[in-house]
Amino acid sequence: MEILLVGTIHLGETPDIHTLAEDDKKKYSDVHFKQLAADIAKFQADQVFVEYPFELHKQLNAIYHSAEVNEDFKENEVYQIGFRLAKMLRHDAIYAVDWHEEPEESINLGLVAAGKSKAEYEEIMEPIKAGMKTLSSIIQQYDIIKLYKYINSREYILNDHKVYLDLMQLGDETAFEWVSKYWYYRNLRIVRNIKRSIRPETKRAVILYGGGHNYLLKQLLEDDQSLKVIHYGDWSE
């Protein structure tokens, strides 16, 4: 089975660092998102998996089939890209596979950001901030395909994953606990949800997820040798 993994920036309100400034978000319209969805649709996926709580799968599909959708939800990449893609492919359903519960207070990464390792933490996060500036410069070109190819490029993915590896090396044990007991655990749960949601007849699928998950999702999915995962940045029709 082949999977096209499409890392995305978050388009709605979220505290995630992989979020564009409001002015940058406004530079893209329905025309751009239709263009991106149409390009991904060439993969001819049988299922589309998105970053939405696994236990709210039925609720998500009620929205997917509804004629009236909340305006706040329309800002989200699940709607702007995921829904458009699934409807272009005439799918009867879209699949929610996320797990995202708040970590225990004792392993909250915010404690590291404000604690004794604050300076080292801020230094580690600099590549993410630099990456967002690069994204912003690409956005000025109004080329959404180029933007998403960059988000899914080997360079961007490796730089992003290095942040988590560096956090584990901090002297503050809380950072290690957050990466191992929350971040890796979350991605393992997501992969389990994906595998539980794959229909027997599915030969191709698209996973639309926050760009920060790109490295681990590919690695964990390909531990199953029956799955071949392709980053959108490496894929051409």
For residue range 145-183, what is the model confidence (pLDDT) as tens digits?
Answer: 999 999 999 999 999 999 999 999 998 899 999 999 999
Q: Identify the residue whose tokens are 């089975």.
A: 1
Torsion-angle region of residue 5: left (phi > 0), alpha (psi -120 to 50) or beta? beta
In whole angstroms, what is the distance from residue 116 CA to residue 5 CA? 37
Contact 206, 36 (CB under 8 A): no
Q: Based on the structure, what is the number of domains in the chain?
A: 1
202 pLDDT above the threshold of 90? yes
The domain of 8 spans 2-234
Contact 208, 10 (CB under 8 A): no
Mean of pLDDT values over 13-25: 67
In whole angstroms, what is the distance from residue 162 CA to residue 174 CA? 18
pLDDT for res 139: 86
15 pLDDT above the threshold of 60? no
pLDDT band at 102 (very low <50, low <70, confident <90, very high): confident
**Of 72-81, 112-121, 122-131, 209-218, highest mean pLDDT:** 209-218
24 pLDDT above the threshold of 80? no
Nearest to 183 by CA among 111, 122, 103: 103
pLDDT band at 78 (very low <50, low <70, confident <90, very high): very high
The residue ranking higher by pLDDT, 49 or 111, is 49
Handedness of CA 10, 13, 18, 21 (dihedral sign): positive
205 pLDDT above the threshold of 80? yes
Nearest to 29 by CA among 138, 142, 141: 142
Lowest model confidence (mean pLDDT) among 46-60, 129-143, 192-206? 129-143
14 pLDDT above the threshold of 70? no
20 pLDDT above the threshold of 80? no
In whole angstroms, what is the distance from residue 4 CA to residue 24 CA? 26
Average pLDDT, the chain: 91
pLDDT for res 193: 98
Helices 214-221 and 184-197: crossing angle in degrees, nearest 10, is 50
